Amino acid sequence: MPTLMRRGAVAAAAALVTALAAACAPGSSGDKPAGKAPAAVSTDVAKAGNVTLTVWDQEVQGGLKEQIEKLNAQFQATYPNVKINRVSRSFSDLQKTLRLALSGSNPPDVVEANQGYASMAQFVKAGMLLPLDPYDQVYGWKKRYPKGLLDLNSVTDDGKLIGSGKLYGVSLNGEIVGLYYNKEKLQKLGIQPPKTWAEFDQALATAKGKGEVPIAFGNVEKLPAMQLYGILQDGLADKEAVRRLVFGSGGSWTDGPNVQAAQKLADWSKKGYFTKNANSIKWDDTPVNFAKGEGVFMFGGTWWAPDLNDRMKEKVGFMLPPASQAGAPVATMGGESLPWSITAKSKHADVAAAYINFITSPKAMDVSVETGNLPVLPAPSRQPSAALMREVSAAWGELSRNDGTTPYLDYATPTFTDAFGGPLQELVAGRRSPEEAMKAAQDDYTAFQNKK
C-alpha cells in the first residue's frame, strides 16, 4: 500500500510539473507599465479633489522623523483635500519591501528609492518609476539643484547607466562621510585636527602610543569597511576615476591607487589603529562607543551628527577627511539622501509631483535646518545653532563648491556589499592580501558588467 501512495505522489508531482510548464513565467504577466509620460502636467493640487497619497519613507531617526512629519503637516494644511498616508520603515527594511511593493498591482504613490544599480536602476529598467522630466519643466528642479546631485538620481531607460538619461527622483537632505574627532582627547594628546593624510597618520601613531583607540570602527555589516575603504580611495585616486569606476563606465578595481587604498586599510588594521575585534561590532554601536570615549577619531556619515551632538555636545568636532597636501581640494563619498520618486502606477502622479516639490522647496530646507538635519541645498533663512551642525554644514558647503562628492561604492553592483565587503572583512582580519581583496571586487564587477 505504501507503494500505491507513492505512485500517487509521483503522479501528482508529474501533474504539477506539467501545470507549471504551462503557467506563465514570473514577472511576465504583462504588467510592465509603458513609461507613460503625462500629457499635461497639472500643478493645481486643490483641483485634484479628495486624494489620499501613500508615501513610503525611511525617515525614522530622531531629527529626520521630525522633519518629514513637519513637512507632511504643512503640506496637508496647504492642501486640505490631500491626505498623506505615511508608511515609514528603517533603511534596510525599506530596501527589502520596496521591491515587492513596486511589483504589486497597487504600489504606493511616492517612495524613497535608493540610488545605485541594486535599487533605482533596476526599478527603472523594470518600468516601475515615473520619469520626472515633464514635471521638472514646471517645477524647475534642474535649475535648483547642481548637476552632480541630479546625476545621482538619473538613469538611462534600460537601467544600464547611472548619471545620464532621465531624472527619477529628488532628494531633500545632503550627506557626506567625514571625520569626527573627540576634541577633549585631541587636546590631551596634544595634537591638532589633521589637515593632511601625513598629519593624520602621525596623529594615529601618537594616539596608539598613548594607549587610546585611534579609530572607532565596527564592521559586522561589511558596509562600514567599504566606506572606510572609499575614503582612503578618495585620498589616493582621482575623483573622476572613482566616479567612472562606480558607475561602470571605465577603470578597474585592481588599478594601482585602488590597491594602495586597500593596502593602507590593511596597514592600519595591522598597527592596531581600529577598535579591537572590529568585525564583531555593529555599525550602529560605533557612534555609541565613540561618544562613550572609545576612539579618538571616527569616520562616519553626517546622518550621525544630530545624535552625536546630543551625546557629546562641545566635545565632538567634524571635518572633511584630510587632504593629500595642505590646502588641496578633498573628495569624499556622499551626495544626497534617498531620492523621492513617483511610482509608474500611481493614480495621482500630479499630486505626487507637487508633494515632492513641496518637500524639496527652499522652505523645506529651512525645516531641515530647524530639525537638526543637513539640507541638500542652502537654507534661505536658517542657520544651525549647534556647533557640530555648523561644522557639518561648512564641510558640505566646501565639498559642494569643489564638486568633491564621490558615489558610495555599494552602488557599483547589486551584490557588491557581499562580494567586496566580505573580502574587506578578511583584509581587516589579516586573512587576505590587498591584491586578493581587490581582485574579488573586480571579479564581481566584471560579472555584473557582462550581464548588464
Partner 1 sequence: MTTAARHEGPGSRREAPDARAARRPGGRNGGRPPGEARGIGWLYVLPALLVYGGFLLWPLVRGAQFSLYHWDGLGTATWAGVSNYTSTWSDPALRGAFGHLLVLVVFYSVLPCCIAFVLVGAMSRTKIRGLAFFRTVLFLPQVIAMVAVAVAWRWVYSADGPVNTVLGGLHALGLPDWRRGWLGDFTFALPAVGVVGTWVGIGLALVLFLAGVQKIPRELYEAARIDGAGPVREFIAVTLPALRRELAVALTLTTIMAIRNFDLIYMATEGGPGNATKVPAYEVYNRTFNTGEVGLGCAIGVTLAVLAFAVTAGIGRLVEGRDA
By CB under 8 A, name the binding residues for partner 1.
1, 4-5, 16, 20, 23, 25-28, 32, 95-96, 99-100, 102-103, 118, 122-123, 125-128, 219-222, 276-281, 414-415, 417-418, 422-423, 425-426, 429, 431
Closest approach, Cβ 24 to partner 1, in A, equals 9
Closest approach, Cβ 450 to partner 1, in A, equals 14
| CB-CB neighbours of 93 under 10 Å | 12
Cell digits of residue 24: 506563465
β partners of residue 334: 176
Q: Which is nearer to partner 1, 6 or 83 (CB)?
A: 6
Closest approach, Cβ 154 to partner 1, in A, equals 19
Closest approach, Cβ 282 to partner 1, in A, equals 9
Q: Which is nearer to partner 1, 166 or 239 (CB)?
A: 166
Closest approach, Cβ 431 to partner 1, in A, equals 6
For residues 26 and 45, give the distance between their C-alpha atoms in angstroms, rounded to a whole number.
37
Q: Which is nearer to partner 1, 21 or 77 (CB)?
A: 21
Closest approach, Cβ 415 to partner 1, in A, equals 5
Closest approach, Cβ 368 to partner 1, in A, equals 30
Closest approach, Cβ 228 to partner 1, in A, equals 15
Question: Using alpha carbons only, how large is the chain's radius of gyration in Å?
Answer: 24
Cell digits of residue 445: 564587477
